[in-house]
Every structure is written in structure tokens, then in C-alpha cells.
Amino acid sequence: GKVAVLHSALTPSQRLKEWKKIQRGEVRLAIGARSAIFAPFSDLGLIIIDEEHENSYKSGSTPRYHARQVAQRRMQSEGASLIMGSATPSLEAYRLMSEGEHITALRLKNRVAGGILPSVEVVDMNYETHMFSRRLVAEMQKTLQAKRQVILFLNRRGFSYFFHCNSCGYELACPHCAVALTYHKRASTMVCHYCGYRARPVHVCPSCRSVDVSYSGFGTEMVEQEITALFPTHRIARLDTDSTQKKGHLQEVIDDFKEGRIDILLGTQMVAKGLNFPLVDLVGIVNADSGLNIPDFRSQERTFSLLVQVSGRAGRYSSGGKVIIQTHHPHNPAIAYAIDGDVDAFYQQELVVRRETGFPPYARLANLVLRGRRRELVQSETDRLNNLLMGYSNAMGVEVLVASECPLEKIAGNWRYHILLSSKRGSAVHHLLASALKAYAPPSGIYLEVDLDPLQLL
């Protein structure tokens, strides 16, 4: 009863009750997700942010605060201490740690459960013909024979199953978004992963009426089928957002795997999230590359972090941990440094790249996204706002990096354009926005959203 718990599943009245407990000084410790950073302690002494690199610390809707920034502010104004933990800190935190005068880097020398770091092996997929390399299959056999477990990690971004017309090249896109529909075999539907639109699969090309059409790509379901064919006598389970929509299913799979009732676990990003599985000796990363092509300055950082986090699932309690990374780009820095497990070397070179290209943590960004139903209007408003910003920006030391369609130019029927601002000084971005947004009012039907320090630019 001495702890307050704050998370998004609380009802408003439950939340109020927890807040009152804190305010009245009945509890001395609050545990919670992002918004717990606002816990109304009057004598705050210590803030701990675990897995500091997680994107979920930044709010996805207005106000788009980042818990780390709120923590830093509270630390300064309320005299509290701040401890942040991560095996792969964000570049922002890493820079603070290596250059900051008020920040001390504390390094854990041993793994929590005493296991030693797994050995990491790379397979160059340019020399392989199947989705699963001969090396990975051989290691899986060895691991399963020893009655140990295997995790196969599928980078979600790369696993989609699309419609394709072999006659005219037509691809089936969501009518409301500028993205291809993903085919879900089991449910026999085409789904848009951005707006939830669903359609029946087609067997005739909607454009040229050809029947020479196919569904291709990597689907997690397809991977499951292949693995079942390779290891017919072993118990296999899949952990991803599609298979875990049934309530309680997620916990069931995790428990079954922990207790050894499942031999091979196929999972997407979920398996990277700090779960501990004592019997896992082998982690296979099926498609390490698939995050690299995303048009975002953080794609290297994300790929590296994901590979290190996933690799960390192997051999947490034993000495036989092994990781096999399948890649077409073994020399890409994010992949090469993850293979070496050289966290510092990756950060050092990534910081150089960020400094040279003028991206965070050496600059502050603001992403202004305009959206609306009428494309011409969104475009002309983007031009108008851009001109306005240009009028102020030079004098204030702010640069307009981009003023064009978003990489995802249409979501749920709304056309999206963005203006990306950058400055060496964060206060300059603030001042520019304060002046420009006072002078700019979007017309009806146009929505403007301002994202300071955006985590992604899609």
C-alpha cells in the first residue's frame, strides 16, 4: 500500500485516487508508464527511467512531450536525481552521457542473471537461396536436440504479403492511404495497417482484368508454415500484433514459452521488449535489413538497437547463447557493430554522421504536418506556411530542411504534407514557431500538427 501505480489502463477515477495518494504523501514511490513522470510528489528525490531508448516515452498525441525531457526539467527545478537505464541508449542520452558535465555514465559489467554474452554470427544472405539459411537451420536442429529453445525474430517492417499483377504490375493499395494492403491468409482479408481498412482478396487484376496475379512477400504466417514444414515435430508459436489480439493470449504464449511448453517462438518487435526466457539458447534474426530503408534519419539507430536488444534474449541464464543474424548488408554499420556487440563504436560513428548532417542530437527539429481531404489545398497551405517561415528563419538561425509530401502522403483519406525545421539552438525553433504560428491560421479543412523533437518523420 506504499506504492502508487499509474498507467493508461486506469479509469479516470482510479487515476485520481492514485494521484491523491501521492499528493497527500501517503506513498513514497510511484511506478508507471509515460505519464507517471508528472506524479505530483512535493519532495521528489529520484526518477528512474528504465529502457530509456523506448519510443513509447514520447507521447504520440498532443501534447507530444517526452518523458526524458520532463524528467530533466523536474530534476533541475526540484533538485531530484535522475537514473536512466538501457543497453542501447538513445543518441540523445548517449551524447549527454559522453559530453555532459552533470551526467555520469555507469556501466554494468555483468549480466543480471549471470549468463555471459551470446556469441553472434552473421550469415550473408546474398549466398543463400531460402528464407532460412543452412547455418540457421543447422543451429536450430542442434539447439532443439539439446532440449533448449529457439526464438526467431522477424522484423515487422519487412514482413508483409502483397497483391501483385504479373501482367501490368498493378498493386492493390488502400483507397484511403498511400500504402499497399497486406494480405492475411488465415482471415482471408486484405488489411490496411494504417487505417484498418479491410477488403476481400481479389483474384483478377482490378486494372487490366488479367488473372495472372499473385500474392507475394514475407508474411509472418508464411514463415510459420515454412518452420512447421522444417520442424514438424516441434511445438511452434507466434507472437505478433495479429496473433495477440485475443485478450490473454499474449500472456499465455509467454508463460508457455517460459515453462518450456513451446520449442520455437516466432516473434516481431514484441520479443525484444525485455522479456526473460531462461531456456533460450538460440536467437535467429531472420531479416536484419528490413528497417534500413525507411526514409528516416533514425533508421540506423533503430536497427542497431533492435538487433542488440533481440540478441540479448539469448543465453541470459546460461553460457551457450548464440545469435545468428541473416542480412544482405553485413557491412552496414548498424549491422556490423551489432554483430561485434560494440555499442560504443556504433554510437561514436553515428554521432559523427549526425553532426555532419545536422540532425539530432546536434540539432533540434520541429516537424509541422498539415493534413486535409483536398490535396491542392494542403499543398498550397504548405507553400504559404513555408513562405511565412522562410521570412523569419534566416534571421533566427533556423533552417527549413523539407517542405513537401510526407513519406506517407495519405492516411485515412487525409493528404499529408510536412515542413521540417532544424536549428542548432532549440530556443531558436521555439521562437520561430511562436512568431510564425501567431501569424498563421489554417483555413477550415486543414489541420496543422506541430511535433517538436519528432521521433519519426513518416
CB atoms within 10 A of CB 188: 9
Using CB under 5 A, which of the segments 93-101, 168-176, 303-311, 344-352 binds Zn ion?
168-176
359: Cβ contacts below 8 Å, ≥ 6 apart: 297, 365, 422
By C-beta, is 157 or 354 nearer to Zn ion? 157
165 binds Zn ion, rule: CB under 5 A:
yes
In angstroms, what is the minimal distance from the CB of 291 to Zn ion? 21
Contact region with Zn ion (CB under 5 A), list: 148-156, 189-197, 332-340, 419-427: 189-197
d(CA 236, CA 240): 13
Instruction: Report in angstroms how near the CB of residue 273 gets to Zn ion at its nearest.
Output: 26
Shortest reach from residue 307's CB to Zn ion, in Å: 30
In angstroms, give the least distance from the CB of 225 to Zn ion. Answer: 27
* Residue whose CB is less far from Zn ion, 111 or 176: 176
Pairing of strands 364-372, 447-452: antiparallel
Q: Are 170 and 206 in contact (CB under 8 A)?
A: yes
**Contact residue for Zn ion among 30, 140, 144, 177 (CB under 5 A):** 177
Q: From the list 55, 81, 98, 167, which residue makes contact with Zn ion (rule: CB under 5 A)?
A: 167
> Per the structure block, which three cell numbers stand in for 52?
530509456
Within positions 201 to 230, which residues make up the interface with Zn ion, using CB under 5 A?
Answer: 205, 207-208, 210
In the complex, what is the shortest distance from the CB of residue 165 to Zn ion, in angstroms, rounded to a whole number?
3
Exposed e or buried b for every residue in 275-292, given b needs 16+ CB within 10 A? Answer: bebebbbbbbbbbbbbbb
Q: Contact with Zn ion (CB under 5 A): which of 19, 197, 317, 362?
A: 197
Q: Running DSSP on this structure, what letter comes out for residue 125? A: G
Residue 113, Cα to own-chain centre: how many angstroms?
Answer: 26
State the nearest-atom distance from the C-beta of 428 to Zn ion, in Å: 37
**Part of the chain binding Zn ion (CB under 5 A), chosen from 11-19, 197-205, 273-281, 401-409:** 197-205
| φ, ψ at 335 (rounded to 5°) | -85, -45
**365 lies in the binding site for Zn ion (CB under 5 A):** no
Tell me which of 4, 96, 192, 433 binds Zn ion, using CB under 5 A. Answer: 192
Per DSSP, the chain holds a count of helices (H) and strands (E) of 11, 19
Q: Which stretch binds Zn ion (CB under 5 A): 28-36, 164-172, 316-324, 443-451?
A: 164-172
Among 30, 49, 84, 174, binds Zn ion (CB under 5 A): 174
In our burial notation (b when 16+ CB lie closer than 10 A, e otherwise), range 201-221 reads: eeeebeeeeeeebebebbbbb
Task: Give the nearer residue to Zn ion in terms of CB position, either 170 or 359.
Answer: 170
Q: Which of residues 228-267 bind Zn ion (CB under 5 A)?
A: none
Q: In whole angstroms, how far apart are CA 88 and each of 341, 343, 358, 433?
A: 11, 7, 22, 32
Q: Is 191 in the site for Zn ion (CB under 5 A)?
A: no
Part of the chain binding Zn ion (CB under 5 A), chosen from 104-112, 152-160, 170-178, 335-343? 170-178
Whichever of 168 and 187 has its CB closer to Zn ion, that residue is 168
Give CA separation, 355 vs 166, 345, 350, 398, in Å: 45, 16, 9, 16
Q: Report the candidate in 206, 68, 260, 232 with the shortest Cα–Cα distance to residue 141.
A: 232
State how far the alpha carbon of 32 is from the alpha carbons of 11, 49, 458, in Å.
14, 10, 28
Nearer to Zn ion, 177 or 306 (CB): 177
Which range binds Zn ion by CB under 5 A, 21-29, 33-41, 117-125, 159-167?
A: 159-167
Give the shortest CB-413-to-Zn ion separation in angstroms: 8
End-to-end CA gap in the chain? 43
Distance CA 439, CA 51 (A): 40
Binding residues (CB under 5 A) for Zn ion: these are 165, 167-168, 170, 174, 176-177, 192, 194-195, 197, 205, 207-208, 210
